[in-house]
């Protein structure tokens, strides 16, 4: 409840960063903010209540508080508690409804603009004990914030995004995949392996021994995109690799990947990559 959401195409805009070390009785402020809050408890115990739900942050815990949601503290914060906190704004576009971020194939070398149109849902409360680089990174952010480095607000946003993505990655490792997750992962790998072919729903049904509508619904629920769109994007990524690394022309690539026609291939390529195959080739040569 009240999760903080990041956009894949934009960075969190840092407002300020600070540290807290409690001596004696200390209670978290009672407030509603127009910015999100990240609290990293280095040691001790901090009590925070958000909309009536009570949380206790202990050594190595990180919590995200959502803007516009009432939060406050109580008597549960102990003397000697040390924290690093980050206050950050949402981007102006953060009200858009976008799919969740997908796991990217390790061998993938090309990324289309649409792959950045995604959301990252940060965990409400997570322990990063055993990940000392997270604490080190948080302290480095504070040092950067208090420095006089030029454009430090931009560097802070970049580095904060990096920190939050690492926290998100750790949160994913805490959830062992169930049978449905494993099935979707196998299907995604299958689609990558068959990206040079047209989508064959009958063969997918036969391979996975499942109703295609069931697979399609499950795939969309887990990855935020349809089987067709995922496969289409894999084909275009493969096409881009061929255009970049071989002497094949647009027509040859379109037929090699079993598109109906070069015209249809060009339409799909532009939809996925944001530019036509011919413009993509021109840009490659400009870069070289």
Percent of the chain at pLDDT exceeding 90: 45
Percent of the chain at pLDDT exceeding 70: 90
pTM over 0.75: no
Q: Does 233 score more than 70 pLDDT? A: yes
Q: Do residues 88 and 152 make contact, with C-beta atoms less than 8 angstroms apart?
A: no
User: pLDDT tens-digit profile of 85-139?
Assistant: 999 998 766 555 555 555 554 445 567 777 787 888 899 999 998 788 899 899 9
Q: Please report which residue ranges of 148-249 form alpha helices under DSSP H.
A: 152-173, 179-193, 201-208, 212-223, 227-245
Domains and CATH numbers, the chain: 5-173 (2.60.120.280), 179-287 (1.10.10.60)
* Mean local confidence (pLDDT), 5-23: 91
Compute φ and ψ for 56, nearest 5 degrees: -120, 120
User: pLDDT tens-digit profile of 177-212?
Assistant: 667 778 888 888 888 888 888 889 999 999 989 899
Task: With cut-offs at 50, 70 and 90, classify the pLDDT of residue 69.
Answer: very high
pLDDT value of residue 41: 96
Q: Do residues 166 and 120 make contact, with C-beta atoms less than 8 angstroms apart?
A: no
């Amino acid at each position: 409840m009240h999760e903080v959401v990041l956009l894949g195409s934009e960075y969190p805009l840092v407002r300020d960063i600070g540290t807290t070390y409690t001596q004696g009785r200390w209670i978290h402020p009672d407030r509603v903010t127009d910015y999100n809050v990240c609290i990293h408890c280095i040691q001790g115990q901090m009590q925070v209540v958000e909309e009536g739900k009570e949380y206790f942050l202990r050594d190595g815990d990180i919590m995200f508080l959502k803007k516009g949601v009432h939060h406050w503290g109580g008597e549960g914060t102990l003397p000697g508690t040390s924290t690093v906190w980050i206050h950050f704004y949402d981007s102006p576009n953060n009200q858009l409804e976008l799919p969740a971020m997908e796991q990217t194939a390790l061998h993938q070398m090309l990324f289309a603009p649409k792959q950045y149109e995604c959301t990252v849902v940060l965990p409400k409360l997570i322990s990063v004990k055993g990940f000392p680089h997270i604490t080190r990174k948080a302290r480095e952010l504070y040092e950067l914030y208090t420095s006089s480095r030029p454009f430090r607000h931009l560097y802070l946003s970049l580095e904060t995004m990096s920190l939050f993505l690492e926290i998100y990655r750790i949160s994913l490792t805490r959830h062992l995949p169930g049978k449905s997750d494993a099935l979707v992962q196998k299907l995604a790998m299958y689609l990558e392996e068959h990206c040079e072919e047209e989508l064959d729903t009958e063969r997918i049904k036969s391979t996975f021994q499942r109703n295609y509508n069931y697979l399609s619904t499950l795939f969309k629920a887990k990855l935020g995109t349809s089987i067709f769109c995922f496969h289409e994007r894999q084909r275009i990524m493969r096409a881009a690799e061929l255009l970049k690394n071989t002497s094949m022309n647009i027509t040859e690539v379109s037929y090699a990947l079993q598109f109906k026609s070069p015209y249809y291939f060009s339409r799909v390529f532009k939809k996925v990559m944001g530019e036509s195959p011919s413009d993509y080739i021109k840009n490659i040569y400009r870069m070289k």
